[in-house]
A and B are shown apart, each in its own frame.
Chain A
Amino acid sequence: MYAYDQYDQAMVDARVAEFRDQVARRLDGRLSEDQFKPLRLMNGLYLQLHAYMLRVAIPYGTLNARQMRALADIAEQYDRGYGHFTTRQNIQYNWIKLADAPDILADLARVEMHAIQTSGNCIRNISADHLAGAAADEVCDPRPYAELLRQWSSFHPEFSALPRKFKIAVIASEADRAAMRLHDIGIRMVEREGTLGAQFYVGGGMGRTPMIAPLIRDFVPVDQFITYAEACLRVYNRHGRRDNKYKARIKILVHELGADEYRRQVEEEFAHLLTLGIEPPRAELERIKAHFGPPIHAELPPLTAQAGPSDPAAFAEWRAANVLPHKLPGHVAAVISLKPIGGIPGDATAEQMRVIADCAALYSADECRVMHTQNILLPHVREADLPALYARLADAGLATANLDQVGDIIACPGLDYCSLANARSIPVAQKISQRFAASGKGAALGELKLKISGCINACGHHHAGHIGILGVDRKGTENYQLLLGGSEAEDAALGKITGPGFDEDGIVDAVETVADLYLARREAGERFLDTYRRLGMEPFKEALYG
């Protein structure tokens, strides 16, 4: 994986010093809260309901064991012993003191990490396919391009006060495991006649006005990749709406101009920018690429010395549910579920993070990935090591077998933490998880992506859930709307609301009702989403409200 050189390190060190100075000026009153707010936001520090929340950037979700251990230490030293992995492959700490923030950034900088641009109206952390470098269907490893974008977007002088936040995701296969078309810019690396280039989808997003990004350019040559991104951003910075926060995302600009007019303006800017020589040279791409070689495994004791799983049936179930194919023979990718039955989706304790770090070091060539589904992936596991890996995970409560099943819920922090939320998300996720665990239907239901947001900002991706739940405030009580038919994958679609909302227990019943209808009506090979698409909304409405 990428390793900092002297320049990258100097950059994060300078940022620590700068933020330390800004915090000092805030604490002694030289900066007003209004002036400080955008500065702390550029560094991932939010003021939430109970405390400051710090969001740490995990570029394209990739961590080595040392970095994961540092995250565990921060959870213990500065928070309450846990952290929350997010849908943008980052980690958040929910109980941070302002005065500690500079020390946390210094600790992060020691392991080549930072919180730069994890919030605020700027280009956010770049996300990518969590199977990058492991997926058999990729045309190339997308991470070098994500790293190029990370460097280009870090402290970009022109784009530090955009109309609104800006999120970019990079993938390199037909399958979309990163919700690419629901980003401000979604990039798919493609090959045309033996030449590598990039498709740019611009203007997707969730929030209160969900949109699936249209294709703006079908092929950007890799030697013009950064220049094209710069053109997309400049048009947005100049013309994106600033009169209304809720209409300020690029999706609104692209929608109001129309994709053709936006494309015309970008192409004009692109032609101009190409004359300025702002593209990093091919040698820089090659330098970055050299960091992303094939996995090199630690020396392990002979297999006979390793303990096998104590419960072979449970191991078999986990292996069937949570293990994914790898492009190298004899290798697999293994998903560590952060969705135990009745747990808080995406949360991990410091101890669990250390177990994950150990497993990454021992079994996955010193690498793990945060997935946008709030789980952790070990990308490069030798098949023969799976029993030993499973045994270790099971001991730490990290071996729930539910990848992409109804219990593998994405949920935002909701009203338990977030100052924007209208309703709680976590308790609803916990109840649904417990309900399906008790009935034992999870495995029978198969792939069923359930996503919960506690307000219309949609951090829990409810628009893109096969089943989505949106918490709203209805005359002072929490009310939950049910959506069906969304998808964040290559068959991207936005869910539709079934009808009137439900109370907290009612929404759990409603999810079970639609799941039961699927079980009764599905045809061979159909996922929940396929059955919904074939039948349409009516039978589901009938079952819910009939």
Chain B
Amino acid sequence: MAELLRFRDDEPVDHPAVTVDAFGGQANAAAVRVEPGDDARALIPHLAHIRLVEVNFPAFTDGRGYSAARILREAGYTGELRAVGDVLVDQLAFMRRCGFDAFEPDQPFDDGEVRAAMSRFPHAYQPAAAGAQPIWVLRHPPANG
């Protein structure tokens, strides 16, 4: 059982996630698992009652889950977004910026490495889901900001 790293305070969902296909017929399910080939946009009409989306990374080199995460956050999803599978500490910062706020890696992270990864880059060039301001906002602060 892999350890769970969460960046949110609410209680984790306690029942297993269903597949995107199965979800269509089980509108009561509050947890869904997105595989790399799934279209995350299929979940958008149901976001209001989803509390957990697991995005599976069968191989860390497959980056489709990053787009899935951003698409869900862009659509207003505020529930837990958990990266599961072959998730490595060196991707943690990118994943946080795409909107992931929970991680269930196959190989548990080292706490020190997590802290180092999260604090290494003070800023980013791009706006992203985690809310930090991109460098171009810092360079050109809004007049009334």
Contacts and interface: CB of A to CB of B under 8 A. Distances in A.
Most buried by B among A156, A157, A160, A284: A157
A121 B59 CA distance: 14
A162 B126 contact: no
B62 A158 contact: no
Contacts of B128: 157-158
B61 A158 contact: no
Assign chain A's interface to a size class.
35 or more
A5 interface: yes
A518 B90 CA distance: 56
A158 B67 contact: yes
A158 B100 CA distance: 12
A21 B74 contact: no
Given A276-B74, A278-B126, A158 B66 contact: yes
Interface string A55-87: 000000000000000000000000000000000
Interface in A294-325: none
The secondary-structure label for the interface of chain A is helix
A160 B94 contact: yes
B63 A21 contact: no
Assign chain B's interface to a size class.
20 to 34
A261 interface: no
Which 3 A-B residue pairs are closest in the complex by CB-CB distance? Answer: A161-B63, A157-B97, A157-B94
Contacts of A238: 64, 67
Contact of A7 (B70, B97, B138): B138
B118 to A, nearest CB: 12
A277 B127 contact: yes
A523 to B, nearest CB: 53
5 contacts: A14-B122, A151-B135, A161-B61, A238-B67, A283-B140
Contacts of B122: 10, 14
A349 interface: no
Contacts of A38: 60-61
A287 interface: yes
B140 A281 contact: yes
Contacts of A417: none
Contacts of B127: 276-278
Given A151-B125, A152-B125, A155-B125, A160 B66 contact: yes
A158 B98 contact: yes
Contacts of A7: 123, 135, 138-139
